[in-house]
């Protein structure tokens, strides 16, 4: 409905231009907002105030002109001028009811699809040298839910798992793998089942044995020169490490596949060219033997220029060099309209620098956007970065195991008589959903405190609350299985029906905002409000015990659309629903 009003206003602006009332070149950003107080209508715009300067007329007078030229619409029951020149729209209830009825029959739940874009989404992107840890959790689940919403809206999404699969630390790891194999044969692969301790053991060998360290350095050189044996070793190592990641993805219900892996090593052959191109454009400077780029706008707090290092004195390339190559690939080969990066906010400066450099160097098409969707740190209940009791990094798998154990306790306490298999399945869903939802429901830019107690609570904006709300709505149908709804019609009479109807109609604009800003918490907040609107409706408006069949049918349809919207919304967050819990 919001976009409908927006398009009515766009047409009106065009008419005013034709009439010479506002200059041809004015291009106001037409904003339509939902009103808080429904006695002022459902939607409002400040367009008259925005145009008052261009038109040289006072806002209230202009507001009247806009109203006079507004195309007729059956969706608008009444339009009013308010305050200094706001225009308030009252939405026609029967038009809204028809819109909801149509949504019910539509696979996109009535959401109007925007012009389709190609969107590259860089997310998860762990370093393969080590075990995936909680720091990668946020990137993986926030990125995956934005990906799902983009696809639902009809965009072409290209997932890019930009894994760290290259760099000097691989020399050390390969040398250790080689050593273990010489001792234990293929059994050595077993050692890799715990990458974290494998890494530590390799590091220990590197520090204690000069001979080992020399071999490690030699392997780096051989790896880079494409040596067959060394590359095979490297591929085997990465393959094992990646399989750990994919176990986690599968468990989390994340949509990344092996085909989405396009790691740092994929750009090796392009790096030399990146340096040449920067050089040809006169962008490179020399700093202690390294090749760097200084950009005017990047300085530290003492005003000193901050360089982007492109190539080290020893010829090695850096993280930034690879990102430049990746941007060129995403623009030139993948033809992205947007490239989104779900990466820790601590890398904000890195992205500002390489984005700006890629533009200056012409590595990306001017119309392609580069968007760092940064996120804050996940902290423990002490407010400090999340660690194990002994101070080590928490492995993702261990975290999920604990969530599962706690969810099982919770579900069992609510259902003492349930059989073990059912309990286990419900606990699996609730455990994963709680971890994901706790993260997704916070504004990604803020740090947040990871708390099992909070995320597994049935109160507030949590996964258990929403999953339970869904089972309640779905439960109404179980009791109304034999009702024939084929001729049922939605009518919005009671205030609570109208409020619920209005909420339901917002699904599309919420999704548009979520993918535009890369903010799943917008969808979480919406689903929480929707569940609340349904509760109030259900309290005030008996469904199965309605006054008459027509009313009962209408209310059943409203419940059905609520259930579908909750389920679809949760699924875009990557969360499974349950029929009972």
Count CB atoms within 10 A of the CB of residue 229. 12
Alpha carbons within 13 A on the beta-carbon side of 393: 15
Structure tokens at 26: 């004015």
Q: How far apart are CA 553 and CA 472, in angstroms?
A: 18
Strands 86-91 and 118-122: unpaired
DSSP track, 185-225: GGGHHHHTTSHHHHHHHHHHHHHH-HHHHHHHHHHHHHHHT
Q: Which is nearer to ligand ARG, 245 or 411 (CB)?
A: 245
Q: Is 140 in the site for ligand ARG (CB under 6 A)?
A: no
Q: Which range of residues in 34-42, 93-101, 121-129, 420-428 is near ligand ARG by CB under 6 A?
A: 121-129
Among 2, 45, 48, 122, binds ligand ARG (CB under 6 A): 122
The minimum distance between CB 139 and ligand ARG, in angstroms, equals: 8
- Axis-axis angle for helices 210-224, 228-252 (nearest 10): 90
Among 12, 99, 101, 127, binds ligand ARG (CB under 6 A): 127
Q: Is 562 in the site for ligand ARG (CB under 6 A)?
A: no
Q: Is 238 in the site for ligand ARG (CB under 6 A)?
A: no
User: Are 535 and 461 a contacting pair, CB within 8 Å?
Assistant: no
CA nearest neighbour of 120 among 274, 323, 361 = 323
Alpha carbons within 13 A on the beta-carbon side of 239: 7
Q: Which is nearer to ligand ARG, 41 or 126 (CB)?
A: 126
Q: Which range of residues in 34-42, 125-133, 301-309, 444-452 is near ligand ARG by CB under 6 A?
A: 125-133
Q: How far apart are CA 57 and CA 61, in angstroms?
A: 7
Q: How far apart are CA 204 and CA 175, in angstroms?
A: 12
**Burial class of 277 by CB neighbour count within 10 A (0 to 12, 13 to 18, 19+):** middle
Q: Which is nearer to ligand ARG, 59 or 164 (CB)?
A: 164
The minimum distance between CB 349 and ligand ARG, in angstroms, equals: 13
Q: Is 321 in the site for ligand ARG (CB under 6 A)?
A: no
Among 110, 143, 164, 520, binds ligand ARG (CB under 6 A): 164
Distances (CA, A) of 422 to 403, 426, 457, 579: 17, 6, 20, 12
Q: Is 461 in the site for ligand ARG (CB under 6 A)?
A: no
Q: Is 326 in the site for ligand ARG (CB under 6 A)?
A: yes
Q: Is 374 in the site for ligand ARG (CB under 6 A)?
A: no
Among 323, 439, 497, 499, binds ligand ARG (CB under 6 A): 323
Q: Which range of residues in 119-127, 365-373, 389-397, 451-459 is near ligand ARG by CB under 6 A?
A: 119-127
Among 46, 125, 145, 568, binds ligand ARG (CB under 6 A): 125
DSSP track, 52-72: HHHHTS-HHHHHHHHHHHSPP
Q: Is 142 in the site for ligand ARG (CB under 6 A)?
A: no
The minimum distance between CB 123 and ligand ARG, in angstroms, equals: 8
Q: How far apart are CA 16 and CA 532, in angstroms?
A: 42
Closest residue to ligand ARG using C-beta atoms: 125
Give how many residues touch ligand ARG by CB under 6 A: 10
Q: Which is nearer to ligand ARG, 125 or 404 (CB)?
A: 125
Q: Is 119 in the site for ligand ARG (CB under 6 A)?
A: no
Q: Which range of residues in 67-75, 122-130, 386-394, 523-531 is near ligand ARG by CB under 6 A?
A: 122-130
Q: Which is nearer to ligand ARG, 323 or 509 (CB)?
A: 323
In sequence order, the 6+-apart residues with CB closer than 8 A to the CB of 25 are none
Q: Which is nearer to ligand ARG, 52 or 125 (CB)?
A: 125
- Axis-axis angle for helices 195-208, 169-184 (nearest 10): 100
Q: How far apart are CA 517 and CA 215, in angstroms?
A: 48
The region, left, alpha or beta by phi > 0 then psi within -120 to 50, assigned to residue 350 is alpha
Given strand 76-82, what is the order of strands in its sheet? 32-34, 43-45, 86-91, 76-82
Q: Which is nearer to ligand ARG, 97 or 343 (CB)?
A: 343
**Contact pattern for ligand ARG over residues 79 through 118, marking x by CB under 6 A:** ----------------------------------------
Q: Which is nearer to ligand ARG, 326 or 558 (CB)?
A: 326
Q: How far apart are CA 25 and CA 15, in angstroms?
A: 13
Q: Is 169 in the site for ligand ARG (CB under 6 A)?
A: no
Q: Which is nearer to ligand ARG, 159 or 162 (CB)?
A: 162
- Residues forming contacts to ligand ARG in the complex (CB under 6 A) are 122, 125-127, 162, 164, 323, 326, 341, 343
């Amino acid at each position: 409905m919001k976009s409908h009003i927006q398009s009515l206003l766009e047409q009106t602006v065009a008419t005013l231009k034709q009439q010479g009332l506002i200059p041809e070149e004015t291009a106001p950003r037409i904003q339509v907002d939902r009103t808080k107080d429904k006695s002022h209508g459902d939607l409002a715009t400040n367009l008259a105030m925005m145009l008052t300067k261009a038109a040289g007329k006072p806002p209230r007078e202009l507001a009247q002109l806009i109203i006079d030229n507004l195309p007729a619409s059956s969706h608008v029951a009444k339009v009013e001028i308010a305050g200094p020149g706001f225009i308030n729209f009252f939405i026609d209830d029967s038009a809204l009811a028809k819109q909801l009825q149509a949504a019910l029959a539509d696979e996109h739940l009535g959401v109007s699809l925007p012009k389709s874009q190609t969107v590259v989404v860089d997310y998860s992107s762990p370093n393969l040298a080590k075990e995936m840890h909680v720091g990668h959790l946020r990137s993986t689940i926030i990125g995956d839910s934005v990906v799902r919403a983009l696809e639902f809206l009809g965009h072409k999404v290209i997932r890019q798992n930009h894994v760290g699969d290259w760099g000097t630390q691989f020399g050390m790891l390969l040398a250790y793998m080689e050593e273990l194999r010489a001792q234990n044969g293929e059994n050595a692969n077993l050692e890799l089942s715990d990458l974290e301790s494998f890494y530590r053991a390799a590091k220990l060998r590197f520090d204690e044995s000069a001979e080992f360290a020399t071999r490690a350095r030699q392997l780096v050189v051989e790896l880079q020169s494409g040596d067959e044996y060394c590359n095979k070793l490297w591929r085997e190592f990465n393959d094992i490490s990646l399989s750990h990641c994919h176990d986690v993805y599968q468990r989390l219900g994340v949509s990344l596949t092996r085909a989405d892996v396009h790691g740092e090593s994929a750009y090796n052959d392009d790096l030399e060219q990146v340096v040449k191109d920067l050089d040809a454009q006169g962008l490179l400077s020399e700093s202690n033997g390294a090749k760097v780029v200084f950009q005017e706008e990047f300085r530290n707090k003492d005003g000193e220029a901050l360089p982007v290092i492109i190539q080290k004195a020893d010829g090695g390339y850096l993280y930034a060099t690879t990102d430049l190559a990746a941007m060129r690939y995403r623009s030139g080969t993948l033809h992205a309209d947007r490239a989104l990066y779900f990466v820790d906010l601590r890398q904000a400066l890195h992205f500002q620098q390489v984005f700006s450099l890629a533009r200056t160097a012409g590595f990306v098409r001017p119309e392609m956007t580069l968007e760092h969707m940064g996120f804050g740190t996940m902290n423990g209940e002490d407010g400090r970065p999340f660690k194990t009791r002994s101070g080590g990094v928490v492995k993702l798998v261990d975290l999920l195991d604990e969530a599962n154990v706690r969810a099982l306790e919770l579900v069992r306490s609510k259902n003492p008589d349930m059989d073990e298999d059912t309990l286990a399945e419900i606990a699996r869903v609730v455990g994963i959903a709680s971890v994901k939802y706790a993260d997704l429901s916070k504004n990604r830019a803020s740090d947040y405190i990871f708390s099992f107690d909070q995320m597994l609570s049935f109160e507030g904006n949590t996964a258990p609350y929403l999953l339970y709300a869904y089972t309640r709505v779905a439960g109404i149908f179980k009791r109304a299985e034999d009702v024939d709804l084929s001729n049922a019609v939605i009518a919005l009479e009671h205030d609570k029906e109208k409020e619920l109807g209005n909420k339901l109609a917002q699904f599309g604009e919420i999704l548009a905002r979520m993918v535009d800003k890369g903010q799943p918490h917008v969808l979480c907040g919406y689903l929480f409000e929707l569940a609340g609107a349904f509760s109030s409706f259900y309290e005030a408006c008996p469904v199965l015990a309605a006054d008459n069949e027509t009313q009962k049918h209408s209310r059943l349809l409203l419940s059905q659309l609520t259930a579908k919207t909750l389920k679809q919304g949760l699924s875009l967050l990557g969360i499974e629903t349950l029929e009972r819990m």
